[in-house]
Amino acid sequence: MASNPVLVVHGGAWAMPDDMVEAHVRGVRNAMAAGWRVLEREGAALDAVEEAVVVMEDDETFDAGRGSFLNRDGKVQLDALIMDGATLRAGGVGCVERLRNPVRAARKILSESPHVYFVAEGAERFAAEHGIELCRNEELVIAREVERLREYQTDAAGHGNDLFAPAISHDTVGAVALDGDGNIAAATSTGGTLNKAPGRLGDSSLIGCGCYADNLSAAASTTGWGEPIMKLVLAKWTADRISAGNLPEWAAQEAMNYLQQRVNGHGGIIVLNAAGQFGIAHNTPRMAWGLKTVAKEEAGVERGAA
C-alpha cells in the first residue's frame, strides 16, 4: 500500500545559545531539502536519510564530518550508522579519521558487505576499496575547534564532569524517513564528545543505541550524552515501546524520561513508524529538529520537553 512520505531530522540536543539557533535551523532545513528530493521522486527512505545526513556532515555548524569536536589528541574521529527497516540490514563505522562523510561509508557497508560494522583503519580501507575517496584528518579540523579544545584543556582542572553537561554541545546529527513504499530507515552521524579519549566510541553508530530501524516497530535516531544512551540501548527501547502499541510521540517522551530517571542522562530523540506517526522529544534546553510531510514543513530548536 502506498504511503505518504515523512522525513524527520535532528541536529543536536543541548543548551544551544541564541546566536547559534539560526545556523542550526538553516542546517536542518537544508538537510530536509536534500532528503525530500529523494522522497518526492519516489526514492527509498534509506537514500533519503543518507542524503539528509550528508548535508549536515558537510555543514560545519554540527558535530559531524568537517568541523567536529576534536579528541584529546587534537584529531577528528567520526562515527556513523545507517539502517534499513525493511530488511534490518545496517552499516556502521567507528573511529574513522579520513572520511569526510562517514555515513557514505556506512551505506556501502550496508549495501555491499556481509558485515555490519567496521572501525578505524579497517573502515577506511573498506571505504577506499569501494570507491570512497579518503582525506587527510587535517582537512576535517577547523580553527574554531582547535581553539575550543585549547580552551577546554587549559581549564581542564576546573571542569570535573562538565564535559558531559547539557551546556556542552552535543551536535550529533540524524534522520528518519518513511518512503512511498511504506519502508522506514534511520541514520546517525557524529564527531563525538569534546576532548574524548582517542578510540572512544559513543552511542551514535551503535545499532539500537543511537540508531535503529525496523518496519515492524519504528526508526529512531538519538543525540546527547552517549554513555547513558548506550547503557539503555535507547533507540531500540523506544522502538519496542512503539511495537507494543504506543504512539511515537508518547514513546519519544518516555524515552527522555527514562534516560533522565534511570541514568541521569540528557539528550534528544526523533522517532517514526511505518504509519507515518512521529515523535520528537528532548530533555535538554533545546534541540535542533526539522519535519517535512506532503502537507507541511517545520523546523526549530524548541519542541517537546525543555
What residues have CB less than 8 Å from 161, skipping those under 6 apart?
none
Question: Which range, of 32-36, 149-153, 174-178, 212-216, averages the lowest pLDDT?
Answer: 149-153
Give start and end residues of each alpha helix (H) in the chain.
18-40, 45-57, 102-112, 120-129, 143-154, 226-232, 234-243, 248-263
CA 37 to chain centroid, in Å, comes to: 20
**Residue showing cell 528518519:** 176
Write phi, then psi, for 288 (nearest 5 degrees): -75, 125
Residues in Cβ contact with 177 at an 8 Å cutoff, skipping those fewer than 6 apart: 5, 6, 7, 8, 35, 39, 45, 48, 49, 52, 184, 185, 186, 219, 272
Tens digit of each residue's pLDDT (9 = 90 or more) over 96-130: 999 999 999 999 999 999 999 999 999 999 999 99
Name the 3-class secondary structure at 300: strand
Residue 211 burial by Cβ neighbours in a 10 Å radius (0-12, 13-18, 19+): buried
In the Cβ-directed half-sphere of 71, how many Cα atoms lie within 13 Å?
Answer: 21
pLDDT in tens, 7-64: 999 999 988 889 999 999 999 999 999 999 999 999 999 999 999 999 999 999 999 9
pLDDT at 51: 98
Given the residues 172, 222, 223, 284, the one annotated as active site: 172
Q: Are 230 and 201 in contact (CB under 8 A)?
A: no
Q: pTM to 2 decimals?
A: 0.96
Contact 209, 230 (CB under 8 A): yes
Q: Rounded to the nearest 5 degrees, what angle is found at the Cα of 146, between the Cα atoms of 142 and 148?
A: 115
Annotation marks residue 172 as catalytic = yes
**In order of start, what are the domains of the chain with their CATH numbers?**
6-300 (3.60.20.30)
Nearest to 304 by CA among 209, 185, 224, 218: 224
pLDDT at res. 156: 65
Q: b/e map of 144-158 (b: 16 or more CB within 10 Å)? A: ebeebbeebeeeeee
